[in-house]
Amino acid sequence: MTSEVTAAQAGIGRLGLCSGCAYFPDFLNGLRCHPGDACIRAHSGRQIDRFLRQNREEAAKYLDDIFWERRAIAARYAAVDEIFRLKSDPDEVVRRVVASRLPVEQLEGMLKDPDREVRLSVAARLPEALLGRLISDPDYLIRATVARRLPHSQLTKLIKDPEREVRKVLASRLPSFALHLMLADPEPEVRAIVAERALPELAARLLNDDEWWVRLAAIANAPLECLAPLLEDPETEIREAAKARLAEASNENP
């Protein structure tokens, strides 16, 4: 690479924009950086990212930088074996990057990270065998992520979760034969999901639910012989849905 500085580049240097930079003038001459656009010394994440994206081999040099954003961006581009030590970086943004890049077998040490976003990254990538370790996480978003990934055989561990959103995930994932375990859930939104997926016998029981939208959800799965009482339901949508399903069945079997 030539070290000859063009007149324009010399002007940039005189303005002080590149003064003292270890990469000047070689990287500038080689179009590997550009002040105001791709610059490792900038306090702009966009400029730092553009520099390291073009010069990945330089990323490891900035993993201990005093500026958290420079460390975080460097962690995106450095080799994975260089970033293990950043699992305990004082800045959560750096740790989030690490959690998104480490091999999954190395994530166990980040299960108790104090930052929710870090734990979310861990929960999304953790091997299934270790997901049970997050079932009691204090943050419901973590538990909901776990509920989306747990093997069916372990889902019942979250049935009594105090957060409705977690139980909604469970209701959407439990095998149909196990949905009776959520029949008495205190939240109608959860019971409605159960009704939408219920086997006929369970759906029939939900036709008597106090909430009209749970009854409405159960109509599609309930046995036909259970629908007649709903023709007198106080809710118009319930009556119409029951009537429509009975009429459809009648047309299919004249």
pLDDT digits (tens, 9 = 90+) for 92-140: 999 999 999 999 999 999 999 999 999 999 999 999 989 999 999 999 9
Rounded to the nearest angstrom, the gap between the alpha carbon of residue 248 and the centroid of all alpha carbons in its chain is 41
Q: What is the pLDDT of residue 33?
A: 92
Q: What is the pLDDT of residue 19?
A: 80
The dihedrals phi and psi of 34, each to the nearest 5 degrees, come to: -160, 120
Q: What is the pLDDT of residue 3?
A: 47
Average pLDDT, the chain: 92
* Helix 188-197, helix 164-173: angle, nearest 10: 0
Instruction: Answer with the residue of higher pLDDT: 210 or 253.
Output: 210
Compute the distance between CA of residue 25 and CA of residue 206 in angstroms, rounded to an integer: 75
Burial class (CB in 10 A: 0-12, 13-18, 19+), 115: middle
Percentage, residues of the chain above pLDDT 70: 93
